[in-house]
Amino acid sequence: MLLSSLFAVFERLDRGESILLGDEQDVDFPQGGPWIGVRSSGSTGVPKWVWRRWSDLKAEVRPTTGATGWRWASPFQAQSFAGVQVALQAWATGGEVVSIDSQWDHVWDLAQREPWQALSCTPTYLDLLLQNQPTGLSPLDPLQITLGGEVLRPICGVRFATRFPRARFTVIYAAAEWGVLLKTHRLDGWYEVDSLDRRRSKWRIEQGILELLDVFGVWQSTGDGIERDGDRVRILGRADRVVNVAGTKVHLDEIGRMAELVPGVRRALALAEPNAITGQIIVLHYSPESGIDPRALESVLAGTLRDQLPKPAWPRRWILDNLPPEKNAKRRVS
């Protein structure tokens, strides 16, 4: 299902018909629609239907000045909440939307033949797209870049701002279950607290996890770690990305973030694997910048992380990896 096919879905929703983005037919729609239903594994990892009210989705669209008729490009799947958001933005402004994939030569060729005014993707996807630009082609020059699906690391934000000085950036934190929760134009990984307050008047941080009050008055965990600093908040990553190493809690995403601050590291992803002595050990997958000797970089990485991290968080294995984007861009921080 291509993103462009969602335009017909939006027309039906506008006529008052509730729509299900999937094959199942025997699903009861909630009252008070119209609704759009998307299939989501959600925070619990259990597949389920998630309902978004059509009026609420349309209310979130904030057309950029002069954006009428723009061509949007995105790798998000049409059946996902992120894909619906992208297509809705294009549909609401009389534009068009193009589905792109990870066949980089094909994507670059398409961008040359039909340039985009706007791009919506994960930070990892954009970083890999830039890395795989064929020689001799004109650079991308979008006017709007919307990033979501995973946490934006500050080092990527600096890279993108330098590469696209004309672009207006929007960074979104959203989930199918809750809709858009945070939106900012910052590129340093932080969001304004009032962005969350406008969308959710009842929220709290419990043991480092963002919780929201549902319509039944029950606090529900989003499954995402969060940090507050005055009038700003930062999403740290999934709570299930915290592991126990020799009795110490280790934040895998923080290891990856710190690794990417080491000069010469393009991307990094920390994982844990079983170990008979400590229970688990840390394994670091890393991708070097072009022209960097990976073995020399591994030595620098090891020394830097050992200086900055507690001993249980030290990577014990190192794996050279190109770290491709995840399918449909779940909220992993890679």
pLDDT at 304: 94
The 3-class SS string of the chain reads: CCHHHHHHHHHHHHCCCCEECCCCCCCCCCCCCCEEEEEECCCCCCCEEEEEEHHHHHHHCCCCCCCCCCEEEECCCCCCHHHHHHHHHHHHCCCEEEECCCCHHHHHHHHHHCCCCEEEECHHHHHHHHHCCCCCCCCCCCCEEEECCCCCCHHHHHHHHHHCCCCEEEEEEEECCCEEEEEECCCCCEEEHHHHHHHCCCEEEECCEEEEECCCCCEEEEEEEEEEECCEEEEEEEHHHEEEECCEEEEHHHHHHHHHCCCCEEEEEEEEEEECCCEEEEEEEEEECCCCCHHHHHHHHHHHHHHHCCHHHCEEEEEECCCCCCCCCCCCCC
Domains by residue range for the chain, with CATH = 3-200 (3.40.50.12780), 240-320 (3.30.300.30)
pLDDT of residue 117: 96
Beta strand 203-206 with 209-213 is: antiparallel
pLDDT in tens, the chain (334 residues): 689 999 999 999 999 999 988 766 667 777 887 999 887 765 545 567 788 889 988 888 876 778 899 999 999 989 888 999 999 999 999 999 999 998 999 999 999 998 999 999 999 899 989 988 998 888 899 999 999 988 898 889 999 999 999 999 999 998 878 889 999 999 999 999 999 999 998 999 998 899 999 878 999 999 898 999 999 999 988 887 888 888 888 889 889 989 998 999 998 999 999 887 778 899 999 999 888 999 999 999 999 999 999 999 999 999 998 877 654 333 333 3
Tokens describing residue 201: 């008047």
Share of the chain above pLDDT 90, in %: 56
Task: State residue 136's pLDDT score.
Answer: 87
52-90 pLDDT per residue, tens: 889 988 888 876 778 899 999 999 989 888 999 999 999
The reported pLDDT for the residue numbered 130 is 92
pLDDT computed for residue 26 by the predictor: 67
According to the model, what pLDDT value does residue 325 have? 67
pTM greater than 0.85 (yes/no)? no
